[in-house]
Structure 1
Amino acid sequence: MHHYTSASFSAVQNIGHQLARAGNLVTAEMDLALKDLRITSRQLGILLAMQHRSAATPVELAKMLSIDAGLMTRMLDKLEANDLLKRSRSTCDRRRVNLVLTERGHEVAAAVPEYAPKMLNGRLKRFTNAEFEELGRLLQKFIGE
């Protein structure tokens, strides 16, 4: 089934544009919500992935968060400078960099549930529970999970 044709396609009335706008909106609002923790929403993804042990190297994080290596390096530099994580070379493979959260990194990650839900719930306040669940289901279907 084709939902778009060259004749009906619009630069601003398409699912790609709408998803990008929604993503940008959530990112900006989450950055504002996390201001007191002195992290960004992108940095939040790194901290939470490490907190949940979903990733422990820059390569794993970059894949998981869909971030290119250059941006990942810059973000890790900032997190390390703010004493939220530490990098170390693997003793088995010098090419491998291991990441661990510092005590402060664990504290910041643990504080996120006090900030993020309020922002997300504000954005979702016009959704019924059924609509919220359906949105999640449809996004997973769109992503292919």
Structure 2
Amino acid sequence: MSKRASSDSTSKTKTAPAIGKQQAFYTPSPLSLAPNNNVGILIKRVQGSLNRMIEQHVSPLGLTAMQWRPLVMIHHLRINTPAELARHSHVDTGAMTRTLDRLEAKNFITRQRCPDDRRVVRIELTANGTLVAEQILPAIALSLNTHLQGFSKGEIHSLISLLERMLSNGDFPVDTPSSASES
């Protein structure tokens, strides 16, 4: 392949930026990837801690960790179909259906078939569901603020920026040794 053809094909595909030797932090070793040093594990632990605290705050409302998310999405984001709720919650449609069944049994939501397309079900909050949904964001804010105690506003903005950068880096396709040899 000519040098020009090679550069044309690489300019069209989005690849992750090259990681220089000074940027590589982790090595495939038990010491490097120990739980107290592993960003992935620490992020997962923080997520678990946040979820547990939010669940403690919403349990007096009659909600579990799985149940408060759809109420927030319906009320604040106007997401109103089971498929969209499942997609935004990162759960399968079966799990979302079971959650919606429980929310309906608690009189927080109703389900209505769309008159234009009977295959589509629209979810609406009941009056009781709206009252409960309005109390969820304060519980989330309290939980986040508790976890961020002692952080300055600048540190919080830096943390958000760093996490967004990690997410952006994760959007690049991964070049693995096996996929590189196939080309």
Does the 8 Å CA contact 1:33/1:115 hold for their aligned counterparts?
Answer: yes
Q: Secondary structure at the match of 1:87?
A: strand
Counterpart of 1:122 (choices 122, 146, 153) is 146
| TM-score using structure 2 length | 0.71
Decide which moves more: 90-99 or 30-39: 90-99
Structure 1 portions without partners, runs of 5+? none
Percent identity over the alignment is 31
Measured in 1, the distance between the counterparts of 2:87 and 2:80 equals: 12
* Alignment RMSD (CA, Å): 2.0
Measured in 2, the distance between the counterparts of 1:19 and 1:47 equals: 25
Q: Secondary structure at the match of 1:132?
A: helix
Q: What is the CA-CA distance between 1:97 and the residue it aligns to?
A: 1.3
Counterpart of 1:6 (choices 28, 36, 39) is 28
When Rg is computed on C-alpha atoms for both structures, the one with the higher figure is: 2
Measured in 2, the distance between the counterparts of 1:117 and 1:53 equals: 17
Q: What is the CA-CA distance between 1:11 and the residue it aligns to?
A: 5.2
Q: Secondary structure at the match of 1:88?
A: strand
Residue 47 (str. 1) matches residue 61 (str. 2):
no
Q: Which residue of 2 aligns with 1:59?
A: 83
The residue type equivalent to 2:114 in the other structure is: S
Runs of 4+ in 1 over 6 A off after TM superposition: none
Q: What is the CA-CA distance between 1:21 and the residue it aligns to?
A: 0.8
Structure 2 portions without partners, runs of 5+? 1-18, 172-183
The residue type equivalent to 1:109 in the other structure is: A
Q: What is the CA-CA distance between 1:93 and the residue it aligns to?
A: 2.0
